[in-house]
Chain A
Amino acid sequence: MTAGSSTGARHASPVRRARKIAPWVYFLIAVAAVLVLSAVRVLAGATDLTSSGTVQAALTAAVPLAMAALAGMWAERGGVVNIGLEGMMVLGTFGAGYAGYQWGPWAAVAFGLLLGVVGGLLHAVATVSFGVDHIISGVAINLLAPGAALFLSKLYFADAPGGGQKQSPRIADAPKVTVPGLSDVLGTVEGKHWFFVSDVAGVLRGLVTEVSLLTVLAALLIVWSGWVLWRTPFGLRLRSCGEAPTAAESLGVNVYRYKYLAVIASGGFAGLGGAFLAVSSGQFRDGQTGGRGFIGLAAMIFGNWRPGGLATGATLFGYTDALALRGSAAVHALLLLLGIALVVVAVVQYRSGHHVLSAVAAALGVLFGYWYFASDEVPAELVGAAPYVVTLLVLGLASQRLRPPRMAGEPYRKGQGK
């Protein structure tokens, strides 16, 4: 057990490591995914599956999730688990509501960010300076923030024109951009309902039409975060605090400082996520975040604590969210889609030797397929739950070789390394 298994694991790990995947493989996967989507669309007659409207809605829904996931990544890369994302997002939504109706969407974004930073700072003080357990501090923030937001909302919005006890007055939407010409051409093609071609056109059109500048900003922030964390000395030092803080300390890195910066950045991104949510839905409302902070965490884990991965995860959740909004026909088609996806997962897991997981995925896949063919629609009560069901299944069954930051969530005290 002792010597045998440890050396065994050491020798086995290089073989099991995820290999670098070439860009063309991603491209092929994307093409295959659209092919499956269009097949399901034709079969189920659910045009919403690949319509530009769905893609737009998916993007809008994905942005706050992606920001939450990004926030989680920043904190955990710095070694602090931030389960208080939800609360920080709530602060962000309130900040956006407060500034937004008075001074417009960009002020909303700035205030949301600011309040998120306040939340992050609180978490940093608790976890880094006082060594409070990360989960406890996070839960405390999650309890504190909605209460504070509701209190402030009663204070500031109840008498504001168009506001109420639990909601802010309207916020003007952020400017939207459309690629001129291209959007129209794609629109024409999409309207033809050709197999595959129209689907591609629909997806692309969704990506170039009426895109909020906030979405563009979010995309830039994801890329920027990846660059900062993986390409700069600052990022290396920050990540080293999540991987091996004592080693970092022995090399002269001020671990406390980087942890503070990581958690504050995390709060800022979560606040931004909340602000984007409030601006895109036109106002602050009590309970608006609806667990998005947690789904963001799930997207982060799905994305293996990396920007590209978490963006994929957020898009996935955003897409199911959008379908749920489109109504029960789309969710019904989603059953078939999920069935197919689970069978694919089953095959992949089988080939990597996880037979039990594979069997579970296959069984669930068949079950969803059966459900699809045996019914005409999904009960309305379940439609709204679709994103969460997908979250669960994806997280449970797609278990890849995850590489979380080694010391995330571990207490760290300066000078205790040996």
Chain B
Amino acid sequence: MPTEPAAGGEPAPAVELSGITKRFPGVTANSDVNITVRAGTVHALVGENGAGKSTLMKILYGMQQPDEGQIRIGGVPTAFGSPADAIKAGIGMVHQHFMLADNLTVLENVVLGSEPRAGVRLDFRAARERIREISAAYSLNVDPDRVVDDLGVGERQRVEILKVLYRGARTLILDEPTAVLVPQEVDELFGNLRELKAEGLTIVFISHKLDEVLSVADDITVMRRGTTVASVSPREVTSRQLAELMVGSALPVPELRDSTVTDRPVLTVTGLTVTGADGRTVLDGLSFTIHAGEVLGIAGVEGNGQAELVEALMGIRTPTAGTVRLGGENITRASTRHRREAGIGYVPEDRHRQGVLLEATLWENRVLGHQTRRPSSRGALLDLKGAKADTERIVRDYDVRTPGIGVHASALSGGNQQKLIVGREMSADPVLLIASHPTRGVDVGAQAAIWEHIRRARAEHLAVLLISADLDELIGMSDTLAVILRGRLVADYDPSTVTPEQLGSAMTGAGRED
């Protein structure tokens, strides 16, 4: 499967990394990495979190220096002492977390640090013209005079790209550029990338979203545990093969074995209606029931009411109509704490916003949401010993990779944070688990572990509401599937017969069958 790009007669590769090794105290981040990026192509670099992609790109961008190995730019051996050197050599980086000043205009953000001058003055006119020129040349559609704060995520990313182009970059490194984008924005970005490629620029594209990689890349290099394991052509691999290359073994499959569904309803929702802050109806008369031992999967394009549904169920948002019953109890107006104490576990979609406190220790995070219950508290006081002991248990049972329970949650990788959250939510023997995108941004190993925990809890009669954007996960993990569209449940499917294509068309409203 690995192929060598045809070299004969072609210009020198834009970037050639050979034998790159980088050691940090205690770890080897990169060992003997070899990558050849042909000029004028989109080259994808894929690998799991922690595979060494970011370190490698930092080396290429001059933020870190390799211990061994050689960088050749356009065939010429080069050494970068700082990003400034890399910029001079025509390499630009679009960071995953945008480096933009929100209160400044696009123009100010773009020219900062290399401003055109007229005397001591900043030459706004020249800057504006140059930005318009670049914007038009690559169809970036960026208005230099808007304030960045007003721009959407996709536009901000284009500003970042423009910033790099303004500095004369011929090779662009994009670090997980699609992580923050919605699907339409991803399409637009890919359009821009093709445009850039057509103009002869070279793009290094870091991602772990394999479908995207396959659709946009010309060459793919796979990294695993700090080294390059394969170079493949997107025409010759499937996303599954690619994933297996990344993981180094066969992939876990989301599937439920036999049905554990009982006829005892755990969550009964009737006519649930929620109105948004602007008066729009975001949830419109939702009714469904989840039984003990049942996983109800909700499919839908993001922004169709999933977040509001979860918030209404958790008591974060007050519904305008309808009832929510947990077991026999009407909890429509109950407080979030009461709901949690009544046995609802909650894995939020954005773990940094709702799931963990990054600047708190693991055991403190363990207490959150369980601060009124054993083993975290006794009476009005926290039971530190009990909380710590139980955190140790979660770390052990859920395989949370951490140096200890006293470290801050920010020291953990996303997957390990997520395992901690799942462990915490499972710890109080919940009767209902609301899981929003439980495996989003999590590496394959953690994903398999989280699935396994949900499966096991389901066998013990846990009811689960599963919301996910990963259709394979939904189909594999659900007993019942419903599609949400514009705040309504529009279709039900049997996960054993439905295909992702059918689901996809129902999610966009193309194939309405009701």
Contact = CB atoms under 8 A, between A and B. Distances in A.
Interface of A: 1-5, 7-8, 10, 13-14, 17, 231-237, 239-240, 243-244, 246-248, 250-253, 403, 405-406, 417-418
Given A17-B150, A418-B97, A2 B114 contact: no
Contacts of B84: 252
Contact of B302 (A3, A244, A417): A3
A281 B136 CA distance: 60
A29 to B, nearest CB: 24
Given A5-B277, A247-B100, A405-B103, A236 B307 contact: no
A252 B83 contact: yes
Contacts of A234: 120
A240 B276 CA distance: 36
Nearest to A244: B101
A15 B311 CA distance: 27
Interface in B85-125: 87, 95, 97, 99-104, 108-109, 111-115, 117, 120-122
A3 B316 CA distance: 14
Nearest to B277: A8
Interface of B: 83-84, 87, 95, 97, 99-104, 108-109, 111-115, 117, 120-122, 147, 149-150, 152, 163, 276-278, 282, 302-303, 307-308, 311, 316-317, 348-350, 353-354
A246 B102 contact: no
Contacts of A232: 120-122
A403 B102 CA distance: 10
B506 to A, nearest CB: 21
Q: Is the interface of B mostly helix, strand, loop or mixed?
A: loop
Contact of B102 (A2, A8, A235, A244): A244
A417 B99 contact: yes
B303 A7 contact: yes
A237 to B, nearest CB: 7
A279 B244 CA distance: 79
B150 A251 contact: no
Given A7-B303, A405-B103, A417-B99, A236 B150 contact: no
Contacts of B104: 236, 239-240, 243-244
14 contacts: A3-B302, A4-B276, A4-B277, A4-B282, A4-B308, A8-B277, A14-B150, A17-B147, A233-B120, A236-B104, A236-B108, A243-B104, A244-B101, A248-B101
Contact of B101 (A2, A247, A417): A247
A246 B311 contact: no
A3 B437 CA distance: 13
A1 B303 CA distance: 11
Contact of B99 (A5, A236, A237, A247): A247
A248 B113 contact: yes
Contact of B152 (A10, A253, A405, A417): A10
Given A13-B150, A247-B99, A1 B122 contact: no
Contacts of A235: 122
A239 B307 CA distance: 37
A406 B161 CA distance: 23
B101 A406 contact: yes
Contacts of A1: 307, 311, 316-317
A8 B278 contact: yes
Contacts of B121: 231-232
B120 A244 contact: no
A403 B150 CA distance: 13
Given A2-B307, A233-B117, A246 B99 contact: yes
Nearest to A17: B150
A115 B282 CA distance: 61
B99 A244 contact: yes
B114 A251 contact: yes
Task: Name, among B95, B99, B115, the residue most crowded by chain A CB atoms within 10 Å (CB to CB).
Answer: B99
A13 B5 CA distance: 49
A413 to B, nearest CB: 16
Contacts of B147: 17
Contacts of B100: 244, 247
Nearest to A228: B120
Given A239-B101, A250-B83, 7 more contacts: A3-B303, A236-B104, A247-B112, A248-B101, A403-B103, A405-B103, A406-B102
B112 A237 contact: yes
A253 B340 CA distance: 49
9 closest cross-chain pairs (CB), A and B: A251-B113, A243-B101, A244-B101, A247-B99, A233-B115, A14-B150, A3-B307, A252-B113, A233-B122
A236 B112 contact: yes
Contacts of A4: 276-277, 282, 303, 307-308
A14 B149 CA distance: 9
A151 B103 CA distance: 44
B99 to A, nearest CB: 4
Given A8-B278, A232-B121, A233-B122, A2 B354 contact: yes
Contacts of A239: 101, 104, 108
Nearest to A10: B152
A61 B227 CA distance: 69
A252 B316 CA distance: 44
A1 to B, nearest CB: 5
Contacts of A246: 99
B102 to A, nearest CB: 6
